Structure 1
Amino acid sequence: MAESKNVVYAKDLKITWSRDRRYWRWVKETENSYVAELLNVCWLKVSGKLENPNLSSRTQYEVVLEAKMKTRAYGFDDPVNFKFTHPGGTEDWTINLEDKFKDSKDQWKDIKLGEFIASENPGAIEFLLYKYGGKWKSGLVIKSVAVRPKS
């Protein structure tokens, strides 16, 4: 993923239970970057915010999760929810992460979470990936969430 001002790296995301080593592990990727590895939760909540995104008006953008699913991941056979708020409004939908990683376990992948057209006055962009209750989940590794022009 290209370096960009419009990226929220794992350490800057709000991840419920991420400070409890029973549920999440922080893995050093490079000298200055860490990824968040899900060990075991039934309450998944990952959120972030871009305060002043550098967007060009009337350009179509996509919101992308850079992540991987470990080979022994479990609990993602049910879709997770995604909520996305941008200056044009709020959108909600579900994403089946297990399907997204079906043929690419243990490989970094860009998962498109949504898209929008930037307005003249871009404001803050917020996003939330969540699944409350239900099955215990493990094996998702999160590197970042980016807002980038749709190619």
Structure 2
Amino acid sequence: MAESKNDHMVYAKDLKITWSRDRRYWRWVKDTENSYVAELLNVCWLKVSGKLENANLSPGTQYEVVLVAKMKTRAYGFDDPVNFKVTYPGGTNDRPINLEVEFKDSKDQWKDIKLGEFEASANQGDIEFLLYKYGGKWKSGLVIKGVAVRPKS
């Protein structure tokens, strides 16, 4: 993704991914753009979080938050929705996302999954995001490039 002045990408290496340093659960793979992506090998407790400083955004602009990811052909455990929460100065957006449905016709292809939107304000504070599913089925096959925060088109 080419970043303009108002586009921001929080790459996988800058996210907090529970158990990402344990090779039994996650694998770091070098991407074609000389960055690393996080490939989920096997977890039942999924927690990926990150943040972006509000000061990096243009006040009064409507932004969208998207997960840039792909799902491997042999992925499993995503038939139940995972949760996504975006917190920004003045509000919170929390909703379930069925990743199996989102990737149904686009396995092994990068895709932008819209997670929420907000209007940037002059208030100080961070934009925080959290993708999570605690317990339940074991999951595998999700590959995360990062989270993009960009002006809504």
TM-score category of the 2 structures, normalised to the smaller one: over 0.9
Give the C-alpha shift of residue 73 in structure 1. Answer: 0.3
**Structure 1 residue 101 and structure 2 residue 100: aligned?**
no
Contact 1:68 1:107 survives alignment (8 Å): yes
Give the C-alpha shift of residue 3 in structure 1. Answer: 2.4
Write the distance in 2 (CA, Å) between the matches of 1:55 and 1:122: 11
Q: Which residues of structure 1 form unaligned runs of 5+?
A: none
Q: Which residues of structure 2 form unaligned runs of 5+?
A: none
Contact 1:53 1:125 survives alignment (8 Å): no
Contact 2:55 2:122 survives alignment (8 Å): no
**Structure 1 residue 142 and structure 2 residue 147: aligned?**
no
Change (3 A) 1:21 1:150: same
Q: What residue is the counterpart of 1:38 in the other structure?
A: 40
Give the C-alpha shift of residue 136 in structure 1. Answer: 0.3
Q: Which moved more, 1:107-116 or 1:22-31?
A: 22-31
Contact 1:51 1:124 survives alignment (8 Å): yes
3-state SS, counterpart of residue 79 of structure 2: coil
3-state SS, counterpart of residue 99 of structure 1: helix
Q: Which moved more, 1:87-96 or 1:39-48?
A: 87-96
Deviations 1:68-100 (A, max 9, x none): 000000000000011111012122111111111
Write the distance in 2 (CA, Å) between the matches of 1:11 and 1:53: 21
Deviations 1:13-38 (A, max 9, x none): 00001000000000011463000000
Contact 1:68 1:105 survives alignment (8 Å): yes
TM-score, structure 2 normalization: 0.93
TM-score, structure 1 normalization: 0.94
3-state SS, counterpart of residue 56 of structure 2: coil
Q: What residue is the counterpart of 1:88 in the other structure?
A: 90
Deviations 1:25-55 (A, max 9, x none): 0001146300000000000000001124422
Q: What residue is the counterpart of 1:112 in the other structure?
A: 114
4+ runs deviating over 4 angstroms:
none
3-state SS, counterpart of residue 11 of structure 1: helix
Q: Which moved more, 1:114-123 or 1:97-106?
A: 114-123
3-state SS, counterpart of residue 49 of structure 1: strand
Root-mean-square deviation (Å): 1.4
Change (3 A) 1:113 1:53: farther
3-state SS, counterpart of residue 19 of structure 1: coil
**Matched letter for residue 107 of structure 1:** Q
Residues matched between the structures, number? 151
Write the distance in 2 (CA, Å) between the matches of 1:53 and 1:61: 13
Percent identity for Structure 1 against Structure 2? 87
